[in-house]
Amino acid sequence: MPNHPTLITDATVQCGFPLPAQATMHKRLDLNDLLVKHPGTTYCVPVRGESMRDAGINDGDTVLVDTSLIAKHGYIVLAVVDGDYTVKRLYNQNGIIKLEAANPDFPDIEFKDGQELTVWGVVTWTLKPLL
C-alpha cells in the first residue's frame, strides 16, 4: 500500500454496494489535476457564514474560484459589493442583476443607485472538511 493518497482513475465508486478493488487503478494523486482547469487564475478562498448553505457551501468550507471564467446567470460567484467580498448566486435576467443567498434566513443583495458590484470570479468547487 502506498503511503500517499491515490486517485482511482479507471472506475467510479458506487455509494451503495462495494466495488471490487483493482490494484491497477491507482496513481499518485494531484488535486490540481482533478480540480483546477486554469492554474494561473484559480484561487482557494475560505468561507465564513451560512448564507449559501442550501447550495452546499458551509461555514469553514473552502471554495475554488476561477477568475478567468465569465459569470453567467445562475453561477455561484465571488463578488465584491461596495468593497466587501461575498459568495452568492448571480441573478442576471431581463436587466435585473442581484446576488441571491442560498439560505432563507439571509436576504438577496439587490443593488441601489451608487452601489458597486464586481464579479471577481466563478466558484468551481467546494472543499469541506469531514473530520
Is residue 51 part of the annotated active site? The answer reads yes
74 part of a folded domain: yes
What pLDDT score was predicted for residue 10? 53
Q: Is residue 18 part of a domain?
A: no
1 domain-assigned: no
DSSP 39: G
- φ, ψ dihedrals at 31, nearest 5°: -60, -25
How many domains, in total, are found in the chain? 1
Question: Three cell numbers at 128?
Answer: 469541506
Domain presence at residue 20: no
Residue 78 has what pLDDT?
Answer: 97
Looking at residue 13, what is its pLDDT? 52
Q: Establish if 88 belongs to a structural domain.
A: yes
Q: Is residue 86 part of a domain?
A: yes
pLDDT at 126: 96
Domain that holds residue 61: 36-127
Looking at the domain assignment, is residue 2 inside a domain? no
Residuewise pLDDT in 10s, the chain (131 residues): 444 444 444 555 556 656 555 544 566 777 888 788 888 999 999 999 999 999 999 999 999 999 999 999 999 999 999 889 999 999 999 989 999 999 999 999 998 888 889 999 999 999 998 88
Question: Does residue 24 form part of some domain?
Answer: no
Measure the CA–CA gap between 4 and 28, rounded to whole angstroms.
7
pTM: 0.77
Residue whose cell numbers read 443583495: 109
Which entry of 27, 37, 88, 128 is annotated as an active-site residue? 88
Active-site residue identified among 27, 37, 51, 72: 51
For 69, other C-beta atoms within 10 Å of its C-beta total 18
Give the CATH number for residue 83. Answer: 2.10.109.10
